[in-house]
Amino acid sequence: MTDEAEIGQPLAPRRASRRIWLGKVAVGGGAPISVQSMATADTRDRERCEDQLRQLQAAGADILRVAVPDMDAARNLGALQRAITLPLVADIHFDWRLALTAISQGVQGIRLNPGNIGGAAKVREVAKAAKDRGVPIRVGVNAGSLEKRLLAKHGGRATPEAMVESAKDEIRLLEDEDFTDIKVSLKASDVSTAVRAYRLAARAFDYPLHLGITEAGTLQGGSVKSAAGLGILLAEGIGDTIRVSLAADPIEEVRVGLSLLRALGLRRGGLTFVACPTCGRCEADMIPVAERVEKRLSSLRGEVHVAVMGCEVNGPGEGKAADVGIAYGHNGVGLLFKKGEIVARLPAAELEARLVEEAEKLAK
Amino acid sequence: MTDEAEIGQPLAPRRASRRIWLGKVAVGGGAPISVQSMATADTRDRERCEDQLRQLQAAGADILRVAVPDMDAARNLGALQRAITLPLVADIHFDWRLALTAISQGVQGIRLNPGNIGGAAKVREVAKAAKDRGVPIRVGVNAGSLEKRLLAKHGGRATPEAMVESAKDEIRLLEDEDFTDIKVSLKASDVSTAVRAYRLAARAFDYPLHLGITEAGTLQGGSVKSAAGLGILLAEGIGDTIRVSLAADPIEEVRVGLSLLRALGLRRGGLTFVACPTCGRCEADMIPVAERVEKRLSSLRGEVHVAVMGCEVNGPGEGKAADVGIAYGHNGVGLLFKKGEIVARLPAAELEARLVEEAEKLAK
């Protein structure tokens, strides 16, 4: 249970973290929580990858990442960064040369664990190059790939404590090179492990935290895990940037991430959409209407609150907070309402089009 | 931020609440958190409604509800209750006679606000009938339909404080009739309002709490809101029974509810499914495989943890916690692994079928 002061606020005060910059996007230190995603296109296929990055930018992502499996991929990074106005993060494992190439190509962030690139001399060179170009490094601890030494020390299991120890070790390697332009993730596919690891990390250091439940699963199952895990942490004031990781089109990762931030009042603008679950009182086939309306209005930039309700009895009342809404009634008619006031009684078949029209007008 | 003792546990200790019984299902007092849903079929259409209730029971719901708009609907309740082994809850507004009929028909729960059925004499009669049959009553406060008097008192807005005051008023009407077999919901479509209302209620009385974000929206948007809002509350130890309210087939409400409880470690058994989000390293069309595997295994009763991973490099390691998993590799081959150990190298085309087979074996 939270203490008295926190009850009045849905979210605890945000954890104080340092601020870093990926290009023009601030992370930490009270900056708005940013939404990240990662391209699934092969980084070596420049055109496809550029296309996908542009789509993800259009969907509302704040920071984008690509895998850098080899030098052919690394050499595309400059073009990929120039294809978007958002910061591009290069995801690198094991090979320090890929990191140096990525930095010289002009990416605005690196994800790399200094512990696995081959020793202090290489870490020094990468840290120096990153520092010269103002490129932050994300240390990405993953419960599934913890060092054997740490697993052994923690009873063979990737415990939250082992994960935080791994993060501290990686951070130290960078700090030893006088590099502190760092953010940290501690991902696990299990919500409970991830939540505890981030809580411990939130107290262990003040670098900004990149939240994620890794390998969360499919669109639906993964969204539930991510929304629960990230929701719990964000409600505790923990987290500076998030990625919802899904086995789905990454556009969905962006949508779910933005929905989550909006649901928690951490992001303004765009569509707030409510729809009743329908019950025995509803005489219309309302669910497809709700799906279509949400889809058609989902790209609105202006702030608008829209409701689709299944009955006239509760509709306008329960949709009172909505700027505009519809409620299906009996015998093929229904209501259009604004802020709970009925403004028109219309044939049910016209409700959907009228609602979309009114919402678009309001969002302008 | 949570205190030191809570960091080690993903969830705070559960709030102490009274225990009530809906038929054989306990709610509150440390009972397992139950998952509810509501039929969308017209309660007057007995056959269709029976079918839907049976489907919802098969999907894993613990408690089911139907709307009772009129006496024709009320007279079907006995048959509907007998069509399932789960408790059936009758959802009633305004009309005390519907409540009396529902109780005499043998439903195992009522959802009714005593404040709107027409005065103390009627409340007395309903409370007496419910008490005689051991039928609990859920007081259901909804931010969208608060009494005008309370709205006026709270600045015209359905604040969390106004909602809790409404709940207390309703509870008092039942307590005045010596009726305490009560659970309470305080739903709002806005996550922040709902979270604050439930937190306040958790301290204001000790009746079990039925959690829900009302009119949450479509399958995807609504799942995110519900998982975040209910996840935050459950992590604080608040909540005895949940309903994920979606404008979608109610089967989805049950699935999302169960996923949420599993994600938080509040429900055991069945499938734990992880899938990586795929990245530039993945050469297979993995997302449809993940979707199909999850669907095919979702009805398993035994506990099994399954992973679908996009690359051989991280696959087995990151899927270490999985009882069984597959990882796609290069050139049309891939791996089958168990608990992180590679047990077979197979043509990629055979991986999916083999995984399902192994998982089904393990779940037995």
pLDDT in tens, A292-323: 998 888 878 788 999 999 888 777 877 778 99
pLDDT of residue B320: 79
- The answer to whether the beta carbons of residues B59 and B249 sit under 8 Å apart is no
Q: Which residue of A has its CA nearest to B195?
A: A10
Average of per-residue pLDDT values in chain A: 92
For residue A262, list its beta bridge partners: none
Q: How confident is the model over A106-148, as pLDDT tens digits? A: 999 999 999 999 999 999 999 999 999 999 999 999 998 899 9
Do the chains contact at A227 and B224, CB–CB below 8 Å? yes
The pLDDT tens digits for B62-98 are 999 999 999 999 999 999 999 999 999 999 999 999 9
Task: Report, as an integer, the average pLDDT of B4-24.
Answer: 83
Instruction: Residue B72: count other Cβ atoms within 10 Å of its Cβ.
Output: 13
Burial (0-12, 13-18, 19+ Cβ within 10 Å), A295: exposed
DSSP label at A32?
A: P
Q: Please name the member of A10, A221, A280 whose beta carbon is closest to the beta carbon of B195.
A: A10
- Helix, strand, or coil (residue B198): helix
8 A C-beta contact, residue A241 and residue B6: no
Of A2, A224, A278, the CB nearest to B40: A278
CB under 8 Å, gap of 24 or more: what pairs does A173-179 form?
A173/A114, A173/A115, A173/A120, A173/A123, A174/A114, A174/A123, A174/A127, A174/A137, A174/A139, A176/A120, A176/A123, A177/A120, A177/A123, A177/A124, A177/A127, A177/A128, A178/A127, A178/A131, A179/A127, A179/A130, A179/A131, A179/A137
pLDDT of residue A8: 55
Question: What pLDDT was estimated at residue B117?
Answer: 94
Contact A259 B225 (CB under 8 A): yes
CB pairs under 8 A between A and B: 289
Specify the amino acid at residue B155.
Answer: G
CB pair distance less than 8 Å for A280 and B67: yes
Q: Is the pLDDT of residue A90 over 90?
A: yes
Mean pLDDT calculated for residue range B110-130: 96
Give the minimum alpha-carbon distance from B38 to chain A in angstroms, rounded to a whole number.
7
Chain B CA closest to residue A271: B221
Confidence band (pLDDT; 50, 70, 90) for B2?
very low
For B137-178, how does the pLDDT look when each residue is reduced to its tens digit (9 = 90+)?
999 999 988 999 999 999 999 999 999 999 999 999 999 999
Show residues of chain B in contact with A10, CB under 8 Å: 191-192, 195-196, 232
Give the gap in angstroms from C-alpha A350 to the nearest C-alpha of chain B: 20
A224·B263 Cβ contact <8 A: yes
Phi, psi angle pair for A77, to nearest 5°: -65, -35
Question: How many CA atoms lie within 13 Å of B57's alpha carbon, on the beta-carbon side?
Answer: 15
Residue whose pair of structure tokens reads 């499919």 in the numeric block: A218
Q: What phi and psi, each to the nearest 5 degrees, are found at residue B62? A: -105, -30
Kindly calculate the radius of gyration of chain A based on its CA atoms and give it in whole angstroms: 23
Residue of B313 and B235 predicted with greater confidence = B235
A357 to chain B, closest Cα gap in Å: 20
- Other CB atoms within 10 A of residue A323 CB: 18
Q: Report pLDDT for B8.
A: 55
CA distance, residue A178 to nearest chain B CA (Å): 30
Task: Report d(CA B138, CA A83) in Å as an integer.
Answer: 56
| Band of pLDDT at residue A324, cut at 50, 70 and 90 | very high
Number of C-beta neighbours around residue B23 at 10 A: 19
Strand ranges in chain B using DSSP code E only, listed in sequence order: 20-22, 25-27, 34-38, 63-67, 88-91, 109-111, 137-142, 182-187, 210-211, 241-243, 271-275, 304-309, 324-328, 333-338, 341-347
Give the residue on B whose Cα is nearest the Cα of A286: B247
Confidence class of residue A86 from pLDDT cuts 50, 70 and 90? very high
Q: How far is A192 from chain B (nearest CA, A)?
A: 5
Q: What is the mean pLDDT of residues A150-154?
A: 94
In angstroms, rounded to a whole number, what is the distance separating the alpha carbons of residues A77 and A63?
14
Taking the whole predicted model, whether its pTM rises above 0.80 is answered as yes
> B10, A38: Cβ pair inside 8 Å?
no
Q: Contact A164/A201 with Cβ under 8 angstroms?
A: yes
CB contact under 8 Å between A277 and B245, yes or no, is yes
Sign of CA dihedral B147, B151, B153, B159: positive
Question: Does residue B36 contact residue B210 with C-beta atoms inside 8 Å?
Answer: yes
**Shortest alpha-carbon distance between residue B333 and chain A (Å):** 19
Give the chain A residue whose CA is nearest to the CA of B262. A225
How sure is the predictor about A1, in pLDDT bands with cuts at 50, 70 and 90? very low
Which residue ranges form the domains of chain A, and what is each CATH number? 4-263 (3.20.20.20), 271-363 (3.30.413.10)
* In the predicted structure, residue A6 carries a pLDDT above the cut 60: no
Residues of A in contact with B321 (CB under 8 A): 144, 189-190
CA distance B243 to chain A (A): 11
Nearest chain B residue to A212 by CA: give it: B277
The reply to whether residue B246 touches residue A277, judged by beta carbons under 8 angstroms, is yes
**Gap between the Cα atoms of A98 and A118, Å rounded:** 13
CB-based contact B291 A249, cutoff 8 Å: no
A35 has which bridge partners? A242
Contacts of A192 in chain B (CB under 8 A): 10-11, 264-265
Q: Which of chain B's residues have a Cβ under 8 Å away from the Cβ of A286?
A: 247
Question: Which residue of B42, B217, B256 is in closest CB contact with A224?
Answer: B256
Contact B80, B49 (CB under 8 A): yes
pLDDT of residue A118: 93
For residue A5, with 0-12 CB atoms within 10 Å meaning exposed, 13-18 middle and 19 or more buried, which class applies?
exposed
A7 has pLDDT over 70 = no
* A22-50 pLDDT per residue, tens: 999 999 999 999 999 999 999 999 999 99
Q: For the residues of A52-88, what is the DSSP string, one character each?
A: HHHHHHHTT-SEEEEE--SHHHHHTHHHHHHT-SS-E
Residues of A in contact with B247 (CB under 8 A): 275-278, 286-287, 290-291, 308
- Cα of A362 to nearest chain B Cα, Å: 20
Nearest by Cα to B78 from B86, B88, B69:
B88
Task: Report how far residue B156's alpha carbon sits from residue B148's, in angstroms, rounded to the nearest whole number.
Answer: 8
Q: What is the pLDDT of residue B168?
A: 98
State both tokens at B164: 């809790």
In this prediction, residue A2 carries a pLDDT of 41
Q: Is the pLDDT of residue B7 over 90?
A: no
Positive or negative torsion for Cα A166, A18, A190, A42: negative
Query: Distance, in angstroms, between B68 CA and closest chain A CA?
Result: 8
Mean pLDDT to the nearest integer, A221-248: 96
Measured between CA atoms, the residue of chain A closest to residue B251 is A277
Between the alpha carbon of residue B266 and those of residues A33, B211, B230, the distances in Å are 29, 15, 12
Structure tokens at A246: 């899904």
Interchain pair A264, B191: CB under 8 A: yes
Lookup: tokens for B175 = 């307590």
Interchain contact, B282 vs A40, CB within 8 Å = yes
Q: What contacts B244, CB < 8 A, 6 or more positions away?
A: B37, B212, B213, B216, B222, B223, B226, B227, B230, B253, B256, B257, B260
Q: Do A192 and B10 lie within an 8 Å CB cutoff?
A: yes
Per-residue model confidence (pLDDT) at position B1: 37
Of B7, B66, B217, the CB nearest to A199: B7
Mean residue pLDDT across chain B = 92
Digit-coded pLDDT (tens) for A254-285: 999 999 999 999 998 778 888 887 776 777 88
**Residue A217 pLDDT more than 90?**
no
Nearest to A225 among B39, B263, B277 (CB): B263
- What share of chain A has pLDDT > 70, as a percent? 97
Q: What is the pLDDT of residue B4?
A: 45
Question: Could you tell me the two tokens for B183?
Answer: 């659970």
A199 with B228: Cβ contact below 8 A: no
Name the residue facing A279 among B9, B67, B199 (closest C-beta).
B67
